[in-house]
């Protein structure tokens, strides 16, 4: 049966109601514009629905709103307070309402206004289990997270994981915002890990330790300052382990200060099409224990695209480890290079110094890559699928204590390993997946070459 069409009278009544609504909206907007700069102060803020959140914490968040001196500032600062509250991730819904004071003795005070807030607090406890893959490793994990633990947006996380490279990992982390600022965070972390490195070298490693971290945002990017204390045990060498690996076996204790700076202006991290990215990590070890070094690592990336879906990106990475006690570096601190998301066309951690079948890692490295991502035939409308063409180069060397910088640079640039190839790249919501056919063009005698197809999963890539 066909629906009944509205009559002319009903249409006219609807248009009249619509016009009346639009006139009222314009009148309200005009009234607000007329008084938006008139003197006005926020008298009080009443928050409803916060049974789990401390009043002192909310007071720090909302206090800047009381600095407003006009209606325009009251509205603006109130919105900023709501945005700050949302960024802590402990509220699911926030509504606000401005109203004149209800007290009779304040009815004539047109320069005062009250703010009412209605919030819905989110669930405090979250339990997650699943599998994840990234950076040449697959793992199963379970994590228990308790949010707003003490009513000040604190987060307690305990997790365990079992994977192909990290045989087992347990972590406890407690973090809290500093002075109710979502851009400043203090955290304490305790962990225990068992790593299986036999895929590229004949040893396993156990790590236990903790860290105290302070992170903040600045106009230049993200900063993280940390003190870390790690006990490491290079253990269980295989029967075929080289003498260099056997010499590294045993315990070591590292006490270090670190600083990490990240400046990320990319449109997204996994398959960026525009923007640039810089990360710098600095470490000083020597506050105790038997490890003394300076370690620095830098990564830079730039990406550009056009309206046809073509993306070109260039990435450069470099690192240097300088011993301060005149002794060779520990294998636990060295750099490793090569693999399906690193210098492609070589086995995982297959570049650089080697003895027998064991990758030994290095004290200095440089790597660079250029990639072209294009619409994939048959999937041109799917931005998550791209055809991938690349050229990679890298070099990893050991540095003897006291070796000059000129000799190190000469060793890095003398004969880099180079590869080219093509394949397909897929952007999963949590990881980037690549299937490439790689062809090494230049390789050192010690490099572990992998010519042909490579499958890579990771969140960091060359």
Judge if 76 and 202 occupy the same domain.
no
Per-residue model confidence as pLDDT tens digits over 54-76: 999 999 999 999 998 888 888 88
Judge if 204 and 105 occupy the same domain.
no
Judge if 213 and 358 occupy the same domain.
yes
pLDDT for 52 equals 92
Judge if 283 and 397 occupy the same domain.
yes
Judge if 232 and 92 occupy the same domain.
no
Structural domain contains residue 179: no
Judge if 223 and 97 occupy the same domain.
no
Judge if 205 and 328 occupy the same domain.
yes
**Tokens at 362, concatenated:** 């290095």
pLDDT at position 380 over 70 = no
Q: What is the full DSSP assignment across 43-66?
A: EEEEEES-SSS-HHHHHHHHGGGG
Judge if 97 and 223 occupy the same domain.
no
Judge if 112 and 244 occupy the same domain.
no
Which one has a higher pLDDT value, 107 or 184? 184
Q: Are 386 and 371 in contact (CB under 8 A)?
A: no
Q: What's the whole-number mean pLDDT along residues 283-293? A: 95
Which one has a higher pLDDT value, 390 or 101? 390
Q: Give the integer Cα–Cα distance in Å for 150 and 2.
A: 61
Q: Which CATH number is 64's domain given?
A: 3.10.20.310
Per-residue model confidence as pLDDT tens digits over 267-281: 999 999 999 999 999
Q: Are 47 and 117 in contact (CB under 8 A)?
A: yes
Judge if 104 and 217 occupy the same domain.
no
Structural domain contains residue 312: yes
Q: pTM here?
A: 0.85
**404: exposed, middle or buried (C-beta count within 10 Å: 0-12, 13-18, 19+)?**
exposed
Residue 1's pLDDT band (cuts 50, 70, 90): very low
pLDDT for 74 equals 87
Q: Which CATH number is 323's domain given?
A: 2.40.160.50
What percent of the chain lies above the pLDDT cut of 70? 91
pLDDT at position 98 over 90 = no
Structural domain contains residue 426: yes
Lowest mean pLDDT among 8-17, 141-150, 405-414, 442-451: 8-17
Judge if 214 and 103 occupy the same domain.
no
Q: What's the whole-number mean pLDDT along residues 124-130? A: 84
Give the helix ranges, DSSP H, for 167-309: 243-248
Which of 121, 150, 168 is the last residue before a domain boundary? 121
When divided into structural domains, the chain yields a total of 2
- Report residue 69: phi and psi, to 5°: -125, 0
Structural domain contains residue 166: no
Bridge-based pairing of strands 41-48 and 112-121 is parallel
Structural domain contains residue 293: yes
Which of 99, 121, 143 is the last residue before a domain boundary? 121
The domain containing residue 104 runs over which residues?
A: 14-121
Which of 78, 99, 121 is the last residue before a domain boundary? 121
Structural domain contains residue 57: yes
Q: Give the integer Cα–Cα distance in Å for 386 and 313.
A: 13
Q: Which three-class secondary structure state does DSSP give residue 309?
A: coil
**11: exposed, middle or buried (C-beta count within 10 Å: 0-12, 13-18, 19+)?**
exposed
Structural domain contains residue 3: no
Per-residue model confidence as pLDDT tens digits over 315-341: 999 999 999 999 999 999 999 999 999
**Tokens at 288, concatenated:** 């105790």
Judge if 361 and 213 occupy the same domain.
yes
Structural domain contains residue 321: yes
The number of beta carbons lying within 10 Å of the beta carbon of residue 317 is 22
DSSP state of 330: P
């Amino acid at each position: 049966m066909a629906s009944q069409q509205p009559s002319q009278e009903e249409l006219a009544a609807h248009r009249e109601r619509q016009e009346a609504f639009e006139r009222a909206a314009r009148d309200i907007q005009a009234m607000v514009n007329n008084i938006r700069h008139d003197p006005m102060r926020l008298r009080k803020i009443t928050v409803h629905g916060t049974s789990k959140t401390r009043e002192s914490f909310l007071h720090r968040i909302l206090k800047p709103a009381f600095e407003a001196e006009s209606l325009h500032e009251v509205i603006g600062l109130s919105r900023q307070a709501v945005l700050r509250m949302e960024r802590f991730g402990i509220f699911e819904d926030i509504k606000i309402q401005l109203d004149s004071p209800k007290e009779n003795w304040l009815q004539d005070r047109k320069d005062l206004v009250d703010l009412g807030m209605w919030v819905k607090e989110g669930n405090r406890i979250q339990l997650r289990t699943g599998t994840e893959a990234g950076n040449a490793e697959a793992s199963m994990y379970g994590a228990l997270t308790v949010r707003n633990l003490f009513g000040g947006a604190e987060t307690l996380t305990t997790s365990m994981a079992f994977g192909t490279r990290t045989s087992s990992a347990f972590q406890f982390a407690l973090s809290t915002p500093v002075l109710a600022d979502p851009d400043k965070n203090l955290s304490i972390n305790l962990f225990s890990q068992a790593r299986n490195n036999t895929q590229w070298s004949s040893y396993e490693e156990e790590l236990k330790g903790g860290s105290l971290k302070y992170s903040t945002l600045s106009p230049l990017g993200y900063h993280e300052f940390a003190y870390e204390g790690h006990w490491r045990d290079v253990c269980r060498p295989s029967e075929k382990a080289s003498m260099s690996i056997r010499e590294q076996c045993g315990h070591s204790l590292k006490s270090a200060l670190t600083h990490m700076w990240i400046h990320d202006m990319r449109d997204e991290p996994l398959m960026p099409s525009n923007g640039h990215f810089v990360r710098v990590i600095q470490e000083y070890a020597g506050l105790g224990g038997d490890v003394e070094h300076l370690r620095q690592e830098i990564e830079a990336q730039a990406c550009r695209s056009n309206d046809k879906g073509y993306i070109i990106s260039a990435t450069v990475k470099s690192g240097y480890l300088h011993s301060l006690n005149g002794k060779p570096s520990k294998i636990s601190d060295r750099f490793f290079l090569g693999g399906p998301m690193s210098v492609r066309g070589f086995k995982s951690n297959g570049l650089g110094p080697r003895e027998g079948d064991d990758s030994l890692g290095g004290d200095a490295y440089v790597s660079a890559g250029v990639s072209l991502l294009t619409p994939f035939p048959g999937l041109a409308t799917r931005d998550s699928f791209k055809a991938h063409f690349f050229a990679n180069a890298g070099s990893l060397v050991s540095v003897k204590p006291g070796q000059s910088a000129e000799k190190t640079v000469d060793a890095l640039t003398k004969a880099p390993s180079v590869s080219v190839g093509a394949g397909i790249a897929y952007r999963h919501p949590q990881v980037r997946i690549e299937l490439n056919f790689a062809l090494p063009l230049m390789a050192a005698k010690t490099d572990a070459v992998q010519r042909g197809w490579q499958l890579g999963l990771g969140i960091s890539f060359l």
